[in-house]
Every structure is written in structure tokens, then in C-alpha cells.
């Protein structure tokens, strides 16, 4: 529902200036760096043949495997077993917890494990790890460049894990999980590969792609429906407006002047960051006889290729706008007044500044 805002009698000097560092979260660099590539990638598209390579073995061992899931993240857990492996020439790790090792060993050895079975279990788990790593190389269907993977004897102290892939499944109805820890170079490669993949295979069907090579993306605190007679007052220097919107990190994202998505505002290295969601959100009917006025805090230009990348749910967009309390009143895509964001009775407000 559109709100119109209201002019208040309070003076700017009596109001608190909005401080983004107080109300917003500082996001981790890697979430922004990989937040429109690796972190949104669907690894199943690249390793779709893994199941077929393992099915004969599972069948011979009378192991039913289903509910296979793949998740990507930047957080590698504290595991009981972690061993070094090599992914595309860079040292990484593969790991599992005690419960996963126990489930696999018991199903394959077909017995309850005792202390005497510890060595046999370790040998078995190493075999499964080696086989899985080998399968990754053979199953790769990403870029035309191969993705060699192998066991290695490198010291774990030399490993820097950035990207994480978690493989989960049910084995005879019991949950198991294996984690792959990727180094910075391999994470960068998979990030680039995914961005290239989605640029070649866009899946967002309801986005109206512009003929222009560049799209203007704006980040707005609120969109107001203002009676035309009040526009002069709303743009007068010194006017304080209660935007009637509670303080939060929620923002509106527009593409070329039209509402495009919801967003969550944060910051990194002194610049605003927005996490994009609910893309192509349903448009609300604008009240007739009103003027649409938006309060904009950031704007960025995106190429056609970049727009496809950021058209993924939960992508992170780093803007060029320094964090601060400056905002602009925008009418018909034009900035008509500069303002400072203030706090008015728990709401966002603005105080109009001289141009």
C-alpha cells in the first residue's frame, strides 16, 4: 500500500541524523565477491553424471541412495576427518563427520563397528573419498576446460579454504554428508564459470530485457504517492518529511525507473550493498491523481551481462554509493531535490537540503 508521507513541524536541528553503520550490517567481502556467481551456482548442472558412476557400486552393496542435495557456502565446518586433495591444480580438502563414516562403513562391512574395525573403516573411507574425487574429474560438465581432481599428500596447514560444497544424501534412509573445501583460485574459477553459464542460459522468463546495453538500477527507501498540490512543499529547502516507513534494512529496487525487486541493505568498505530478492515482484496499482515520488539512496549502471547475473534470487550487488545519510527525491526518473535522512518518531524521514 502506497503512503504519502507528511510534512512535520520538527526542525532538522532537533532530529537525529540516520547513521547507516548503526542500523545496517557490514557484510563479509566474500559474500559480495561471490554473491552473484559461486554462491548461487547449481553444482548439479556441472556434475550431473556422478550418480550414474556410483549406481552399480551401490546396487552391488545393496545400498539405496536418494534425496541427494548439493549446497554451496563459504563456511567449512569443524569435522572429524579432513584430508587434503587437489582441485584443478590447487590444494583443497574433503571432509566428513564420524556419523557419516560410521553409516557408510556399517552398510558396506555389514556389521556393527568395534575398535578392531577402525583400521578397516579408515581404509574403506579413504577408498570412497578417492573414488569420489576421481568421479568429480570424469563427471565435469562445466566449461570446456577440464576439472582434474586427485588425492594429495600436501600438509593441511598449507590449505586455504574459501568456497565450500556440501554433498548430502540418504543411505538406506540414514543421512550422510561430505564437504569439499575449495581454495581461492578454484572458487574464483567456479564463480566465473557460473556467471558465464547463466549469461549463456538465462532462466528468468518474466524479465523484460531492454534493448539498451545498460540498465539503471536504483535503491529506494520508499515510494510515495503525493498529491500534486504538495510537491512544492515537499521540495522546499528546510522541509522535514515523515516518510511513514519504519526504520529497517528493507529497500525497493528499481530497474530503469520501474519497481523490479525487493532488497536488503547493508554495506562493505564504505559503500552500500543490496541483497536482491523477489525479482519481478507484482506491481501495486498506483493511486490515481497522485505523483509518484521516490526517496533514492543509491544508483548503479549495469551492463546487459551484469543484469543477468544480478537477476538471480539473493544476489549481492555492491553499489558505487558511499554510505551516508544523503538521499534524493526522484520524480519521473529525475532527481528534483537533495535531502538528509533523519529519524522521525521511529520512522525514516528526510530534511530537504539546498541544491
Boundaries of every domain in the chain: 6-34+212-353, 38-200
Q: Give me 92's grid cell.
A: 583443497
Q: In whole angstroms, what is the distance from residue 302 CA to residue 210 CA?
A: 12
Question: What's phi and psi for 153, nearest 5 deg?
Answer: -105, 15
Strands 326-331 and 334-344: antiparallel
Q: In whole angstroms, what is the distance from residue 232 CA to residue 23 CA?
A: 31
Q: Indicate the CATH number of 38-200 among 3.40.1280.10, 3.40.1550.10, 3.40.50.460, 3.40.50.1000.
A: 3.40.1550.10
pLDDT in tens for each of the 355 residues of the chain?
A: 678 899 998 777 889 999 999 989 999 999 999 999 999 999 888 887 777 788 888 888 888 888 889 999 999 999 999 999 999 999 999 999 999 999 999 888 888 877 777 888 899 999 999 999 998 888 888 776 788 999 998 888 889 999 999 999 999 999 999 999 999 999 999 999 999 988 888 765 444 555 568 899 999 999 999 999 999 999 999 999 999 999 999 999 999 988 999 999 999 999 999 999 998 776 777 788 899 999 999 999 999 889 999 999 999 999 999 999 999 999 988 999 999 999 999 999 999 999 8
Name the 3-class secondary structure at 291. strand
Q: In whole angstroms, what is the distance from residue 271 CA to residue 319 CA?
A: 6
Identify the pLDDT of residue 204.
53
Q: Give me 330's grid cell.
A: 526522484
| Cα distances (angstroms) measured from residue 252 to each of 2, 45, 187, 248 | 13, 32, 31, 12
Q: In whole angstroms, what is the distance from residue 320 CA to residue 104 CA?
A: 50
Identify the pLDDT of residue 333.
87
Identify the pLDDT of residue 129.
94
Closest CA to 193 of 144, 148, 139, 143: 143
Per-residue b or e along 6-38, where b marks 16 or more CB atoms closer than 10 Å to that residue's CB: bebeeebeebeebebeeebeebeeebbbbbbbb
Identify the pLDDT of residue 206.
40
Amino acid at each position: 500500500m502506497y503512503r504519502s508521507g507528511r510534512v512535520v513541524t520538527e526542525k532538522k536541528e532537533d532530529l537525529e541524523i540516520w547513521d547507516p553503520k548503526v542500523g545496517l550490517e557490514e557484510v563479509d567481502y566474500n559474500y559480495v565477491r561471490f554473491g552473484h556467481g559461486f554462491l548461487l551456482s547449481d553444482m548439479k548442472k556441472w556434475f550431473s553424471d556422478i550418480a550414474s558412476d556410483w549406481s552399480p557400486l551401490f546396487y552391488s552393496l545393496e545400498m539405496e541412495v536418494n534425496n541427494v542435495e548439493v549446497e554451496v557456502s563459504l563456511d567449512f565446518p569443524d569435522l572429524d576427518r579432513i584430508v587434503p586433495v587437489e582441485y584443478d591444480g590447487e590444494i583443497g580438502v574433503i571432509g566428513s563427520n564420524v556419523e557419516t563414516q560410521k553409516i557408510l562403513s556399517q552398510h558396506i562391512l555389514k556389521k556393527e563397528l568395534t575398535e578392531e574395525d577402525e583400521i578397516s573403516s579408515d581404509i574403506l573411507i579413504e577408498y570412497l573419498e578417492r573414488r569420489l574425487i576421481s568421479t568429480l574429474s570424469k563427471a565435469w560438465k562445466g566449461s570446456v576446460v577440464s576439472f582434474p581432481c586427485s588425492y594429495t599428500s600436501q600438509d593441511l596447514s598449507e590449505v586455504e579454504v574459501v568456497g565450500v560444497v556440501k554433498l548430502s544424501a540418504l543411505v538406506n534412509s540414514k543421512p550422510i554428508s561430505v564437504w569439499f573445501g575449495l581454495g581461492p583460485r578454484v572458487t574464483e574459477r567456479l564463480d566465473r564459470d557460473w556467471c558465464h553459464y547463466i549469461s549463456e542460459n538465462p532462466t528468468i522468463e518474466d524479465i523484460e530485457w531492454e534493448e539498451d546495453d545498460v540498465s539503471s538500477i536504483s535503491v529506494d527507501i520508499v515510494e510515495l504517492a503525493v498529491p500534486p498540490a504538495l510537491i512544492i512543499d515537499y521540495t522546499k529547502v528546510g522541509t522535514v518529511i515523515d516518510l511513514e516507513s519504519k526504520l529497517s534494512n528493507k529497500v525497493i529496487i528499481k530497474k530503469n525507473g520501474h519497481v523490479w525487486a525487493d532488497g536488503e541493505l547493508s554495506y562493505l568498505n564504505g559503500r552500500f550493498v543490496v541483497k536482491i530478492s523477489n525479482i519481478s515482484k507484482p506491481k501495486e496499482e498506483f493511486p490515481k491523481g497522485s505523483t509518484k515520488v521516490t526517496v533514492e539512496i543509491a544508483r548503479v549502471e549495469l551492463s546487459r551481462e551484469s543484469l543477468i547475473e544480478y537477476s538471480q534470487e539473493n544476489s549481492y550487488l555492491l553499489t558505487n554509493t558511499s554510505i551516508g545519510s544523503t538521499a534524493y527525491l526522484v520524480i519521473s526518473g529525475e532527481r528534483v531535490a537533495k535531502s538528509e535522512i533523519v529519524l522521525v518518531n521511529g520512522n525514516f524521514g528526510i530534511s530537504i537540503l539546498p541544491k
